[in-house]
Structure 1
Amino acid sequence: MTDLLPLWRDLLLGGFILLAYTTEAMTGFGSIVIALSLGALILPIDDVQTVLVPLNICMTGFLSWRHRNHIDWRLLGRLIMPFMLAGTVLGYWVQPVLGGALLKVGFALLVLWFVLRELRRAARGHVAAPKSGWWSRGIVLGAGVTHGLFASGGPLLVYGLAGLSLDKARFRATLILVWFSLNSLLTLLYLNQGRLQPLAPHVLAYLPLIPLGIVLGERLHHRVDEVTFRLWIYRVLAVSASALLLASLLQLG
């Protein structure tokens, strides 16, 4: 029986990864925060994160090229990438100091607050207004910090972009390129640290799940209307944050 435990663990993590990358192919974000939150229940968070990041660049690299005509280059260059990149470097640099379970609990609670707030607004028919310039930049910078810490900058970035006139195709394509760029940087940093090399066989083992997740996510993306798409985003965030909160509380216990 004990010999089967690693197999069940690997199969379960594979299921989490397939769910996560199907979601990202559909919505443009959420893969790492979902898989990391769920995977942390059965494996160390650092190991799961190190496997997920290079897998993510395989999927987002393909999708970025495929949907390159929908990328909002102006938004990417003026707001998202400068502040996300700076925040990611900062988050990676302070990770040894701030990367504990308490910070993950705070992050999960912040995401849950945002989700409940936006779902309440949606139920009342309220349309989110664009954030002011410096407030928006601050949120995007914070998203970069959480990406450097947990490779999970999607929730705060979505919050920072709320109220902008982006249809679902531009929203998804732009975010996917962000994750491809930042996760390529993190992969190089993991290689430099020596974190990735021991886990490379696991990355290769889960690689076949990427095309399957892309096919499933693409089909769902084209079958879902704009309003439902937005609700999907909030539901993804709610599940992700709840799982992350649970994993962090278990770690504290």
Structure 2
Amino acid sequence: MDFWDEGLFLLVLFLANTIQAVTGFAGTLLAMAPSILLLGPDQAKVILNIMAFLSSLFIVSSSLAYVAWRQLLRIVLYMAVGMIAGIYLYQRLPLSFLLPFYGFFVLAVALKGLCTDKEINLSPGLSRFILLGAGIMHGLFVSGGALLVIYAVAAFKDKHVFRATIASVWVVLNVPLMFHDYQQGFYDNQTLLLTGLSLLPLILATYAGTRIHDKINQRIFMKLSYVLLLLSGMLLLF
């Protein structure tokens, strides 16, 4: 990885985590595709997982009163089961299969978000299926937020509750992923150095996104997020 790759990665990290600070999700999903191309999948997963944990921890610490605790427990339990399956698949399926699969997944979520404004109502069975799927995607690419947001839009009508509860999910679930990555030997010197360099854009992005959160029309911002997702998915496929 050269100087330009590092610089582009830090720029991607800043832009994606600004969105993460505004919405409580989508930061890793937006950053993962270009980061995989710049760093490779293992290093991208490690660094973005740590950054998502830190960003979410800040959101939760500043909006703890808005966390829907019973919903948080339900989400974490179902997603944890899915994460076990996702980690298993990541270790055993070839990258040539996983990356196009991930690209199609991102494109599908982006197109759905861009093409509909309908209120989402989910049956209990479909809710469980979506949460398990979100866990699988989080175990694969630290990117379960795309599916989780489908559940969250139906469950949370207040944007503050939405943001605080979704961020709480990443605080809880990213810890076992960090431990797993450490066991796999992914925390080498180069990764730790780039993680340290990533802290400054993360701090700036979290500050900017938090300021934007209370001022911006969230519907417009979510549409912009989906446009960026569309571009990320296309990068993986083409």
TM-score, scaled to structure 2: 0.91
Find the partner of 2:201 among 188, 206, 209: 209
The answer as to 2:192 corresponding to 1:200 is yes
Per the alignment, residue 73 of structure 1 pairs with 69
How far apart in 1 are the matches of 2:70 and 2:110? 27
Q: Structure 1 residues 163, 58: CA separation in 2 closer, same or farther (over 3 Å shift)? A: closer
* CA distance in structure 2 between the partners assigned to 1:55 and 1:151 by the alignment: 11
Contact 2:107 2:233 survives alignment (8 Å) = no
**Worse overlay, 102-111 or 128-137:** 102-111
Q: Is 1:170 matched with 2:161?
A: yes
Q: Say whether 1:183 aligns with 2:174.
A: yes
Amino acid at match of 1:14: L
**What amino acid is aligned across from residue 5 of structure 2 in structure 1?**
R
* Kept in 2: contact 1:87–1:145 (CA 8 A): yes
1:51 aligns with 2:47: yes
Q: Does 1:6 align with 2:6?
A: no
The yes-or-no answer on 1:32 pairing with 2:28 is yes
Report how far residue 13 of structure 1 moved.
Answer: 0.7
Over residues 138-168 of structure 1, what are the superposed CA-to-partner deviations in whole Å (9 max), with x where a residue is unaligned? 0111011000000000111112233334211
Shift of 1:26: 0.5
Instruction: Point out the more displaced range, 32-41 or 230-239.
Output: 230-239
**Could you tell me how far 1:191 is from its partner in structure 2?**
1.0
C-alpha deviation, 1:203, in angstroms: 0.7
Q: 1:219 aligns to what?
A: 211
| Structure 2 counterpart of 1:86, one-letter code | V
Whole-Å separation in 2 of the counterparts to 1:100 and 1:234: 30
Q: Describe the shift of the 1:209–1:118 C-alpha distance in structure 2 as closer, same or farther (beyond 3 A).
A: closer
Distance 1:76 1:219 in 2: 25
Cα 1:221–1:92 shift into 2, 3 Å? same
CA distance in structure 2 between the partners assigned to 1:58 and 1:118 by the alignment: 26
SS at match of 1:152: coil
Separation in 2, partners of 1:170, 1:62: 15
List runs of 5+ in structure 1 lacking aligned partners.
Answer: none
Q: Percent identity?
A: 29
**Structure 1 CA distance for aligned equivalents of residues 161 and 209 of structure 2:** 16
Question: CA deviation digits over 1:5-55, x for unaligned, max 9?
Answer: 711211111100001111100111111111211222322122111111112
Output one character per residue of 1:56-113: Cα deviation in whole Å (capped at 9) or x when no partner.
22221122111111111121123x1111111112211221223624333233323433
Show structure 2 runs of 5+ residues with no match: none
Separation in 1 of the partners of 2:198 and 2:213?
Answer: 23
Residues 57-96 of structure 1: pairs in structure 2 closer than 5 A: 57-78=53-74, 80-96=75-91
AA in 1 matched with 2:35: G
- Higher Rg: 1
Aligned partners of 2:222, 2:187: CA distance in 1, in Å?
Answer: 30
Change over 3 Å in CA distance of 1:200–1:76 after alignment to 2: same
The Cα shift of 1:241 comes to 4.2
Runs of 4+ aligned structure 1 residues displaced above 6 Å come to: none
Q: 1:242 aligns with which of 227, 231, 235?
A: 231
How far residue 201 of structure 1 moved from its aligned partner, in angstroms, is: 1.4
Q: Does 1:137 align with 2:128?
A: yes
